[in-house]
């Protein structure tokens, strides 16, 4: 039960303040500002307790969103709600920024009234919200429309309205993954995991029933045991072990629990079908090999090699390697074969950017760093080298096996739906120690 919700700008000025419960006083707004935003020491915990009141905050660019409560609530629920709130706002007016919030404050209050009721989260489905919270002022809706909205919002399938019609039934499916890695200088993987999302955009008529299939190890093994399918041999070793996953509310969980099949009536438009995480058999797209040599007290030689480790036919994009430099760096000379490299003093790092790189290639950079002798005995902590990239495959190995659409009432079948599938693998925190 969220007692109230505040939005601050980077200076700590309150942009939005909505209090749902009486136990939250007016001073709660200031308490958060004083103790968190303006705190002398940066507050790193997302949950702060001030005077028996709990504040949960997330930060989006320079905007602080804080939910406040006096009760012992489920913190995960609150954060889930805050993220949803961010999604909803993004869906309505794009980037969350001070200006956007100021321009849309009426809308935000309207949204807050709808998605939280006496502090209990309600429907936060953008698609559904957009049907009755619009930016176009009051459009006099007919009685039927109103009752339709009511029945939809309060009904069993709150995320989809009836009577949707498209001339072309289309479906877009994106598998978005981010790879996180920490590697030792010797190339040993210290920790690695992939967190992925399946994002769909559906433009389907009527109330279709969809079924989504992927190379989930449990499903494949089950089928393999039954020996009924013929593709066991093909996909057997390509099946992946999913550590945990969460679904959009449209997915029938009972069916997933019993048969592990993902079937659902999709919302209209864009939504996130599922989220998952894997830790086993991850394809690491890049390998970073660092070489750091200290030459006396005033010089440092750095050589970094990166190797791409995927099919040569694929192209990685937006590659950026960030090599931290010591705090007493006084000058840097860089030589690189490919791409552009630059010493960024404001970030204390050498940033090396490569636009494109094919699989199974390697590239290298070498740099000479001059140091200023200091009277500080502290040794440089050597932060890890980090990397950013984008590759056109799923590093977890996830494959979409099928996505079937059934709409018995209307006269189109699975074959008539145009389906698009795309895989994008991005780097999360992809670091190698040096």
Partner 1 sequence: MPAVSKGDGMRGLAVFISDIRNCKSKEAEIKRINKELANIRSKFKGDKALDGYSKKKYVCKLLFIFLLGHDIDFGHMEAVNLLSSNKYTEKQIGYLFISVLVNSNSELIRLINNAIKNDLSSRNPTFMCLALHCIANVGSREMAEAFAGEIPRILVAGDTMDSVKQSAALCLLRLYKTSPDLVLMGEWTSRVVHLLNDQHMGVVTAAISLITCLSQKNPDEFKTCVSLAVSRLSRIVSSASTDLQDYTYYFVPAPWLSCKLLRLLQCYPPPEDGAVKGRLVECLETILNKAQEPPKSKKVQHSNAKNAILFEAISLIIHYDSEPNLLVRACNQLGQFLQHRETNLRYLALESMCTLASSEFSHEAVKTHIETVINALKTERDVSVRQRAADLLYAMCDRSNAKQIVAEMLSYLETADYSIREEMVLKVAILAEKYAVDYSWYVDTILNLIRIAGDYVSEEVWYRVIQIVINRDDVQGYAAKTVFEALQAPACHENMVKVGGYILGEFGNLIAGDPRSSPLVQFNLLHSKFHLCSVPTRALLLSAYIKFINLFPETKSTIQEVLRSDSQIRNSDVELQQRAVEYLKLSSIASTDVLATVLEEMPPFPERESSILAKLKKKKGPGAVSVNELEEGKREGGELNGGGGERGGDNSTIAASNASTPSPSADLLGLRTGPQVSAAPPSAGSLLVDVFSEAGVNDDGFLRDLEPPTESSDSLLAEGPGDSDSAPPSAVSEDAAPPLPESNELLNKFVCKNNGVLFENQLLQIGIKSEYRQNLGRMYLFYGNKTSVQFVTFTTTVSCPGELHPQLNVQAKPVEPLIEGGAQVQQVINIECLGDFCEAPLLNIKFRYGGALQNLSLKLPVTINKFFQPTEMASHDFFQRWKQLSQPQQEAQKIFKASHAMDTEVIKAKLLGLGMALLENVDPNPENFVCAGVIQTKAQQVGSLLRLEPNAQAQMYRLTLRSSKDTVSKRLCELLAEQF
DSSP reduced 3-state for 425: strand
Output the smallest distance, CB 347 to partner 1, in A. 7
Q: Are 154 and 148 in contact (CB under 8 A)?
A: no
Q: Is 376 in the site for partner 1 (CB under 8 A)?
A: yes
Question: Residue 377 annotated as binding?
Answer: no
Euclidean distance between CA atoms 310 and 314, whole angstroms? 7
Please list the residues that pair with 200 across neighbouring strands: 173, 271
Q: Which of 110, 370, 390, 414 binds partner 1 (CB under 8 A)?
A: 370
For residues 52 to 71, the per-residue mask of contacts with partner 1, x marking binding by CB under 8 A and - elsewhere, is ----------x---------
Q: 308 vs 386, which CB is nearer to partner 1? A: 386
Continuous segment of H or E residues that includes residue 89: helix 75-93
Euclidean distance between CA atoms 123 and 146, whole angstroms? 17
Question: Residue 165 annotated as binding?
Answer: no
User: For residue 422, what are the contacts with CB-CB under 8 A and spacing of at least 6?
Assistant: 172, 173, 174, 175
Question: Residue 70 annotated as binding?
Answer: no
Q: Is 10 in the site for partner 1 (CB under 8 A)?
A: yes
Q: At what angle do helices 105-115 and 75-93 cross, to 10 degrees?
A: 140
Question: Residue 353 annotated as binding?
Answer: yes
Q: Which of 374, 382, 402, 421 binds partner 1 (CB under 8 A)?
A: 374
Interacting residues with partner 1 between 377 and 396 (CB under 8 A): 378
Number of residues that bind partner 1 (CB under 8 A): 18
User: For residue 141, what are the contacts with CB-CB under 8 A and spacing of at least 6?
Assistant: 149
Q: 343 vs 393, which CB is nearer to partner 1? A: 343
List of E strands, 83-188: 116-117, 120-121, 170-183
Q: In residues, how long is the chain?
A: 434
Interacting residues with partner 1 between 319 and 358 (CB under 8 A): 327-331, 345-348
Q: Is 296 in the site for partner 1 (CB under 8 A)?
A: no
Interacting residues with partner 1 between 102 and 121 (CB under 8 A): none
Output the smallest distance, CB 39 to partner 1, in A. 11
What residue ranges bind partner 1 (CB under 8 A)?
Answer: 10, 42, 62, 327-331, 345-348, 370, 372, 374-376, 378
Binding-site entries:
340, 342, 344, 353, 355
């Amino acid at each position: 039960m969220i007692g109230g919700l505040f939005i601050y700008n980077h200076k700590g000025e309150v942009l939005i303040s909505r209090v749902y419960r009486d136990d939250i006083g007016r001073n709660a707004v200031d308490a958060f500002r004083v103790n968190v935003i303006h705190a002398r020491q940066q507050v790193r915990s997302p949950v702060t307790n001030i005077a028996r009141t709990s504040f949960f905050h997330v930060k989006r660019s320079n905007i602080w969103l804080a939910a406040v409560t006096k009760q012992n609530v489920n913190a995960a629920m609150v954060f889930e709600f805050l993220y949803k709130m961010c999604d909803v706002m993004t869906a309505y007016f794009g980037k969350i920024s001070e200006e956007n919030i100021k321009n849309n404050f009426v809308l935000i209050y309207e949204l807050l009234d709808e998605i939280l009721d006496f502090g209990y989260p309600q429907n936060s489905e953008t698609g559904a919200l957009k049907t009755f919270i619009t930016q176009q002022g009051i459009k006099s809706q007919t009685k039927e429309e109103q009752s339709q909205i009511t029945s939809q919002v309060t009904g069993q399938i709150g995320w989809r309205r009836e009577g949707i019609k498209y001339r072309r039934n289309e479906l877009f499916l994106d598998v978005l993954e981010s790879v996180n890695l920490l590697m030792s200088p010797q190339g040993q993987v210290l920790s690695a995991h992939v967190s992925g999302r399946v994002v769909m955009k559906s433009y389907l008529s009527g109330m279709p029933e969809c079924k989504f299939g992927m190379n989930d190890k449990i499903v494949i093994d089950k089928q393999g045991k039954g020996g009924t399918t013929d593709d066991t041999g093909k996909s057997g070793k390509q099946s992946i072990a999913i550590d945990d996953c969460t679904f959009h509310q449209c997915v029938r969980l009972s069916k997933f629990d019993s048969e592990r099949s993902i079937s659902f009536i999709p919302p209209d438009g864009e939504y996130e079908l599922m989220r998952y995480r894997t830790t086993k058999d991850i394809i690491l797209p890049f390998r970073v090999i660092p070489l750091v040599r200290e030459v006396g007290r005033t010089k440092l030689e750095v050589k970094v090699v990166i190797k791409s480790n995927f099919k040569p036919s694929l192209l990685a994009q937006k590659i950026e390697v960030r090599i931290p430099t010591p705090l007493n760096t006084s000058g840097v000379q860089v030589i690189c074969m490919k791409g552009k490299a630059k010493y960024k003093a404001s970030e204390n790092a050498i940033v090396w950017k490569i636009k494109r790189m094919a699989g199974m290639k390697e590239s290298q950079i070498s740099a000479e760093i001059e140091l200023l002798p200091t009277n500080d005995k502290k040794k440089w902590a050597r932060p890890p080298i980090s990397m950013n990239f984008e590759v056109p495959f799923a590093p977890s190995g996830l494959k979409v096996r099928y996505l079937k659409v059934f709409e018995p009432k209307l006269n189109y079948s699975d074959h008539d739906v145009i389906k698009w599938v795309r895989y994008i693998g991005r780097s999360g925190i992809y670091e190698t120690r040096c």
